[in-house]
């Protein structure tokens, strides 16, 4: 009889452990442990721009943006892992590169990063600076 009760208690304890673990995982994913970061790039040039962004694992694929058009991609960012999304931009036969997202550098407003693609380099819209773009040089 003790063996049967012991087995029932063990099954109950394991079930409770699994339930609590799943609840914690749902809370962690929806509560911000793995953040859904969104990158939006807008072509501010007077001609179309060919663009290609990727990180070490994921490739967003080639895109062509006409003047004024934007493109958005997103990814889930886990803590303690370094993320770098590098993009190449091409127009008028010239190729330019920039690390459009670097988890050590970027702290986007509510996990939304907004970039304008300009002649001299990409410009990030930083919400904490009254939406004034901060421009950088191409790599």
88 and 25 in a single domain? The answer is no
Full-model pTM? 0.71
8 and 67 in a single domain? The answer is no
62 and 126 in a single domain? The answer is yes
12 and 45 in a single domain? The answer is no
Enclosing H/E stretch for 137: none
82 and 42 in a single domain? The answer is yes
88 and 26 in a single domain? The answer is no
Residues forming beta bridges with residue 112, ordered by sequence position: 38, 109
Do residues 38 and 53 lie in contact, with contact meaning Cβ atoms separated by under 8 Å? no
Domain that holds residue 7: 1-33
Between the CA of residue 133 and those of 2, 110, 113, what are the distances in Å? Answer: 71, 17, 12
Q: Which residues contact 56 (CB under 8 A, 6 or more apart)?
A: 84
d(CA 37, CA 111): 5
50 and 6 in a single domain? The answer is no
pLDDT tens-digit profile of 85-130? Answer: 999 999 999 999 999 999 888 877 667 899 999 999 999 987 765 6
């Amino acid at each position: 009889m003790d063996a049967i009760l012991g087995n029932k208690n063990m099954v109950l304890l394991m079930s409770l452990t699994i339930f609590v673990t799943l609840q914690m995982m749902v809370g962690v994913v929806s509560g911000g442990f793995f953040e859904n970061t969104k990158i939006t790039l807008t072509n501010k040039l007077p001609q179309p721009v060919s663009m290609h962004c990727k990180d070490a694992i994921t490739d967003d694929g080639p895109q062509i943006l006409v003047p004024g058009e934007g493109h958005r991609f997103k990814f889930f960012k886990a803590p303690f892992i370094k993320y770098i999304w590098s993009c190449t931009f091409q127009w008028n036969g010239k190729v330019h590169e920039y690390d459009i997202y670097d988890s050590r550098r970027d702290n986007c407003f509510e996990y939304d990063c907004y970039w304008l693609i300009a002649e001299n380099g990409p410009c990030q819209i930083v919400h904490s600076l009254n939406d004034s773009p901060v421009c950088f040089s191409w790599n």
